[in-house]
Amino acid sequence: MSTEPGHTFQVDLRGLVDLLSHHLYSSPKVYLRELMQNAVDAITARRQLDASAPAQIRIRTGVNGGIQVEDSGIGLTEADVHTFLATIGRSSKRAEDGGLDLSAARQDFIGQFGIGLLACFVVADEITVVSRSARDSNAPAVEWRGRSDGTYQIRALPSGTVAEPGTTVTLIPRADGSEWLEPNRVLRLARHFGSLLRYDVEIVDRFGDVSKVNDTPAVWDRQYGSPLARREALAGYAKSTFDFTPLDTIDLDLPLVGLKGVAFVLPTPVHPTKRSGHRVHLKGMLLSDSAQELVPDWAFFVSCVVDTTGLRPTASREALYEDETLSAVRDAIGERIREWLVGLAASDLTLLRRFIDVHHLAVKALARYDDRLLALLLPWLPFETTDGNVSLDEFARAHPVVLVTQSVEEFRQVAPIAASAGLGVVNGGYVYDRELVHRLPEVRPGVTVADLDPETVSAHLDTVDPAAELAAAAFLARARAVCDKFDTDVALRSFQPVGVPAMLVDNREARHERRRAELSADADELWAGILGSLGSSAPRAQLIVNHLNPLIRKIADIPDAALSETAIEALYGQALLLSRRPLRPADHALLNRSFIGLLEFAAAAAGTNATGGGTGNGNGGNGGGGPAGGTAADTASDARGDV
């Protein structure tokens, strides 16, 4: 059985360039990073042969509408050009036998994937490479000219054409890529990517003017006359880089992975789901300015700038490769931020208070899992309580029994009444708060924490004298009939503050049952049956009427049934608003109906008074020009004004 001869894959260069530009790289701007990266690696390779070799990268703009990148690196022979530039994906930074070079020296290179020059076709139609090798002084310089259609030419140059070893790459732009080769854009990109490169990089425009790209040593590695001068320099760097003046700075130094840099503490609050982007340089070259994976999720209150030699880039060299090393670095940076917080608590309480004021949410997130920080920072963490916004430590000293709600809605229902009754309640509806309150006994022995349901508060309200409740029996019966339509019971109590006429309370089971009933009413027959089978006998909501409130006494004395029912509906609506729970369409209709009803009664009463008293209209109740009609009209006016 014969075997067919082997075949070689054919590559559509235009299709591959399209793949690079739309899927591997985030933007065409990376072409300049790839050119600078190749130049840096070429110089590094030459300096491994000769430590005194020059180290210079020069980028010329305005060259035939494109750019030229010159380096004093190791250069290429004609054989190298055939091997590396004519084979897509092969790296010139390989071992002599063609395998990957994994030696310690290999770690000095930035590039890993051998596709850097190919990326330049994203912006260029033609690329010319002129190079002379430093490894073979007798070898002639060579020129490689490649085009975006996949064709290329190679020729040896006459002796003396190129005096010194090194490489010059010239890009002639594509019609849709010329904007990326404009002089000002090139200067900005070079500084963006190369500000921390270890070799000098210059931009030379067509007039011969030179602009320096590097800003080295890094701001965190410079010598300053005083700690204050260093802080000011770091703050200025943060302002120019991130456009904010940091609350403080945290030095990052992890020698095992060659990482150095600074974490800048944000001066304004940020939502925990919006993680900061961090600038990561790999051996001086900017890898990413949005590397969210560098720090733990809870440290969303810092933005970092680091330079590292030990972390791995992804294939596009625009993000960090997720591996055990990155995980260890993330943990180490998190520990450094913890140490900074501990140091503030021990030495700078003023700054700690400022930090807590801005980022208490972040500290709460961290304290959930860190017992040491929980005990250390608990005195400073603010919580919404019936005593106002106070620290949990201060609140626990005033209330040995701490009650905590499960939602903001529950807290707002009971807060005014609970405060008057002397109950200590914490709003547990905000993220992390309820969990932290329940951990309070771990760090403050002797404190008791329990969940609070609104009905617990009603149990602390004063009962009404039996005679007073008997006198209000007719009113209560009418109120229960009205509120039964809202699946709500009515109770008469005495409580502070007197200015609150009524309080609407319900527990979680009642709310769930009400929601189930609403869904069942709107569902088709099948789902209505399923939801109906899930029904429970949960206690109903309660409208607790304050016997001490003057408005309640006035409503209780209304003899007109229609006016009394309208006033009770308005009372229920007011209690509904005070509970701050979300209003349903039926609730909005109730508020509108009761308000319009009271206006109608008031208008009717005004008409009756204008005629000197007469027969009341259908809405006005049973009073004509006599005392009963006058009392109803006066009460309607009072009820309208108070409610």
**Rounded to an integer, what distance in angstroms lies between the CA atom of residue 391 and that of residue 384?**
9
Select the more confidently predicted residue: 52 or 454.
52
Per-residue pLDDT at 215 exceeds 70: yes
**Rounded to an integer, what distance in angstroms lies between the CA atom of residue 479 and that of residue 473?**
10
Buried b or exposed e, range 162-185, using 16+ CB within 10 angstroms: beebbbbbbbbbbeebeebbebee
284 and 400 housed in the same domain: no
pLDDT at residue 591, rounded to an integer: 82
- Tens digits of residue pLDDT in 27-50: 788 889 989 999 999 999 999 999
pLDDT at residue 326, rounded to an integer: 93
Annotated binding residue at 38? yes
Per-residue pLDDT at 282 exceeds 60: yes
Tokens, residue 572: 């229920």
Annotated binding residue at 592? no
449 and 474 housed in the same domain: no
339 and 307 housed in the same domain: yes
pLDDT at residue 87, rounded to an integer: 60
Per-residue pLDDT at 615 exceeds 60: no
Q: Taking residues 3-22, report their average pLDDT.
A: 58
Q: Is residue 472 part of a domain?
A: yes
Per-residue pLDDT at 638 exceeds 50: no
- 503 pLDDT band, cuts 50/70/90, is confident
Per-residue pLDDT at 640 exceeds 70: no
What is the distance in angstroms between the CA of the first residue and the CA of the last residue of the chain? Answer: 100
Q: Write the CATH number for 303.
A: 3.30.230.80
Q: Which DSSP category does 24 fall into?
A: I
**Total number of domains constituting the chain:** 4
Q: Taking residues 113-140, report their average pLDDT.
A: 82
pLDDT at residue 533, rounded to an integer: 52
The CA-based angle 61-170-207, given to 5 degrees, is 25
Per-residue pLDDT at 201 exceeds 70: yes
330 and 271 housed in the same domain: yes
Average pLDDT, the chain: 80
Per-residue pLDDT at 437 exceeds 80: yes
Q: Write the CATH number for 438.
A: 3.40.50.11260
Per-residue pLDDT at 204 exceeds 80: yes
254 and 390 housed in the same domain: no
Per-residue pLDDT at 191 exceeds 70: yes
Q: Taking residues 240-247, report their average pLDDT.
A: 94
- 629 pLDDT band, cuts 50/70/90, is very low
> Cα separations (Å) of 151 from 13, 87, 173?
9, 12, 17
- Tens digits of residue pLDDT in 342-387: 898 888 989 998 998 898 888 888 888 788 888 888 878 889 999 9
285 and 243 housed in the same domain: yes
- Tens digits of residue pLDDT in 417-428: 788 778 899 999
- 3 pLDDT band, cuts 50/70/90, is low
Domain that holds residue 120: 13-92+110-212
pLDDT at residue 69, rounded to an integer: 95
**Rounded to an integer, what distance in angstroms lies between the CA atom of residue 308 and that of residue 294?**
11
Q: Is residue 628 part of a domain?
A: no
158 and 135 housed in the same domain: yes
Q: Which residues are bridge partners to 281 per DSSP?
A: 286, 307
pLDDT at residue 51, rounded to an integer: 92
pLDDT at residue 622, rounded to an integer: 41
468 and 446 housed in the same domain: no
455 and 471 housed in the same domain: no
Per-residue pLDDT at 105 exceeds 70: no
The residue type at 428: G
Which of 6-20, 295-309, 463-477 is least confident?
Answer: 6-20
Strand order across the beta sheet in which 285-288 lies = 248-254, 259-265, 302-308, 279-282, 285-288
Indicate yes or no: pTM above 0.85: no
The residue type at 476: L
% of the chain residues with pLDDT over 90:
31
Helix axes 183-194, 30-49, angle to 10 degrees: 60
18 and 82 housed in the same domain: yes
Which of 133-147, 274-288, 525-539 is least confident?
Answer: 525-539
Q: Is residue 634 part of a domain?
A: no
Per-residue pLDDT at 1 exceeds 60: no
Q: Is residue 279 part of a domain?
A: yes
Per-residue pLDDT at 546 exceeds 80: yes
Q: Which residues, 6+ apart, have CB-to-CB distance to 536 below 8 Å?
A: 509, 513
Per-residue pLDDT at 26 exceeds 70: no
pLDDT at residue 525, rounded to an integer: 55
- 243 pLDDT band, cuts 50/70/90, is very high
- Tens digits of residue pLDDT in 70-95: 999 999 988 888 877 766 545 555 44
Tokens, residue 169: 């790459």
Which of 260-274, 309-323, 610-624 is least confident?
Answer: 610-624
Q: Is residue 623 part of a domain?
A: no
Per-residue pLDDT at 4 exceeds 70: no
**Rounded to an integer, what distance in angstroms lies between the CA atom of residue 59 and that of residue 190?**
9
114 and 168 housed in the same domain: yes
Annotated binding residue at 608? no
The backbone torsions φ and ψ at residue 103, rounded to the nearest 5 degrees and listed phi first, read -70, 170
Which of 97-106, 290-299, 319-328, 604-613 is least confident?
Answer: 97-106
545 and 425 housed in the same domain: no
